[in-house]
Chain A
């Protein structure tokens, strides 16, 4: 234990230098931590989000299916529509267990409270076994089901009659409250399909169809059957597993670049640590000589300086991980504004293995960076060291 304390006191003699060096390590480690947390969180929340949708295949109008999938997940106005008659073709395809037609529309209000309306029928319930509804799912025009977030923000109660936001003439009764799903469903207002189509003047039109298969393992054959059906030439069939994979490939390909640049940061931090310890060895040449004179072995001196480096790196890693953790919310908001295809769930998550990996990296970094200074200190000749004025390295 003595050696640890001795090494610490060595660092403490130059508090500014030690803290600047540790800050360098901290910055690099914080970047590393954020990157790892983002990679892990992004993958998980993307999978979670697609999972919550409850469908295996998404049928959307022509146009880019990514945009369409993103619209279906987060709620927005759709630029184009599917004919309601396609639904029968989809239902008639072998292998399709459930096909839930959806009509979605949104209003953006100035107060940043936007209202997303979903017109759906009871088929939707088959896709969402996790839903807990107080009251009833709307079946008759005039009823509606509201997400927990909507009810909270607007102060709506079960059984209350309210004017629909964005639609001045329309009054509907809250027939059901949807329990918290922790997903975008919390912010949606669900109407009976026909009611929504009439309200938004798109009779016999849908925005997308959520399809659940009898057996997800037969995805390929069902997808090609869907593409081959009569309406197959007029709609895009998006298997969500493919979508997940493609987005993931895009995200993964950036990982190498980001990883390389982070590595450069870590190496720069290691170089900084090495330089600062080399200076310390030079400053304390005489002291080392005296220690050797009193019987300290080469190994002792080596250990002393090596410990100092490792301690600097560990302190830096601690500060870095803490900063990364505290700054996670900020980084997440910043990333959300810049990245396309961002899932709604948390992008960055604290995981113990990530913190552990950061400390591990810092430990390895410190050990390697400490080798040169420690070796230089250990190989000093005691007599020459005592005689020297210091600072000759």
Chain B
């Protein structure tokens, strides 16, 4: 990990994060003096200032995230790799794009980029490699440029800090907490809270989804049982012609599995076609939504879905199959 702790302005960090994502201005920023103070601290190895500004697109569909960085940020981001162009800014009017941002804006290194919000033309110097993080959709400019573009002279959104030694975390936190207007958030803390929230939502979703699966299982059970009762005589004839109990049991179980497999196939097809629409619908009502697509049909996901479907088929088909196995062959020759 590059960063161990962040200095953020007073106020709630989640609130701040939620505001940035929704493209609203932050209430609070840090004064630049905090950076100098942080750099003076003996435990701090690197202190990288960041200014994040969000500007909504003209049509309001997307939010451009502008990030102002200075040279120290490069040392915090070992994964900073350019796909094409130059690896760093060459002057105040240069910018570097994350790979998704470059694709969305259709820009290559060397192109001009005009920002109507700040009324400034910049030159794209480089495009970053895909990193799978939020960096992919950001627009990077030099810190001073960002401060000038958005009227935030001498202000910072946050300061990312790496310590000389992770062991110093506790004492450094106490000292850094004293910097006026700033508070310390350790990344483990932040991650913990976010994971907690996501975990809570996940638990709720999974439990309701389980109930839905149980409802489906009851439906399959009913259908299979009715099928067995309907075909009582047919099954009895099969028994009379030499089919064993096990074979009838297997037959009905097979049918149940086929039914649920067909259901799984249709369901996956539906998911692969309707999933993206659902994402578009859900996105506006989500705070802190990651910028990339969070909807993906992964191999393990598909495998899990199929396995669950098979398990439902097996379980729901159990009693009907047992009943089929118990049918007496004598039923076949009984008059109606």
Contacts and interface: CB of A to CB of B under 8 A. Distances in A.
Interface of A: 16-17, 20-21, 23-24, 27-28, 30-31, 35, 62-66, 80, 227, 233-238, 242, 246, 249-250, 252-254, 256-258, 260-262, 264-265, 268-269, 271-272, 275-276, 279, 282-283, 335, 338-340, 391
15 contacts: A21-B218, A24-B214, A24-B218, A227-B10, A236-B10, A236-B12, A253-B285, A256-B282, A256-B285, A260-B282, A261-B205, A264-B209, A268-B216, A272-B222, A335-B204
B33 to A, nearest CB: 11
B330 to A, nearest CB: 21
B219 interface: yes
Contacts of B10: 62, 227, 233, 235-237
A324 to B, nearest CB: 11
Nearest to B178: A234
B222 A275 contact: yes
B212 interface: yes
**Which 6 A-B residue pairs are closest in the complex by CB-CB distance?**
A272-B219, A233-B180, A265-B212, A62-B183, A24-B218, A279-B226
Interface string B51-88: 00000000000000000000000000000000000000
B230 interface: yes
Contacts of B218: 20-21, 23-24, 27, 272
A272 B224 CA distance: 12
Contacts of B200: 338-340
Contact of B212 (A28, A62, A80, A279): A28
Nearest to A263: B212
Contacts of B282: 256-257, 260
Interface string B216-239: 101101110110001000000000
A276 B287 contact: no
A100 to B, nearest CB: 21
A338 B203 contact: yes
B222 A276 contact: yes
B211 A246 contact: no
Nearest to A243: B12
Contact of B12 (A65, A233, A264): A65
Counting chain A CB atoms within 10 Å of each CB, the highest count among B14, B204, B225, B282 belongs to B204
A17 B225 contact: yes
Given A28-B212, A256-B286, 13 more contacts: A23-B218, A24-B215, A27-B214, A64-B12, A65-B12, A236-B11, A246-B15, A249-B18, A265-B212, A268-B216, A272-B222, A275-B222, A391-B230
A28 B185 CA distance: 42
B181 interface: yes
B183 A236 contact: yes
Nearest to A234: B180
Nearest to A269: B215
A340 B197 CA distance: 7
Given A271-B219, A276-B226, A65 B11 contact: yes
A236 B200 CA distance: 27
Contact of A257 (B205, B230, B287): B205
A70 B203 CA distance: 22
Contacts of A250: 197, 287
A249 B21 CA distance: 14
A20 B200 CA distance: 31
Contacts of B18: 246, 249
Interface in B277-321: 278, 282, 285-287
B148 interface: no
A65 B14 CA distance: 10
Given A236-B11, A340-B196, A340-B197, A268 B208 contact: no
A304 B222 CA distance: 21
B287 A272 contact: no
Contacts of A23: 218
In the complex, which of the residues A249, A268, A335 has the most CB atoms of chain B within 10 Å of its own CB atom? A268
A261 B14 contact: no
Contact of A17 (B205, B226, B278): B226
Interface string B163-207: 000000000000001001101110001000100110111011100
Contacts of A254: 201, 204
A63 B11 CA distance: 8
Contacts of A265: 208, 211-212, 215
Nearest to A262: B208
B287 A249 contact: yes
B91 interface: no
Interface string B1-32: 00000000011111100100000000010000
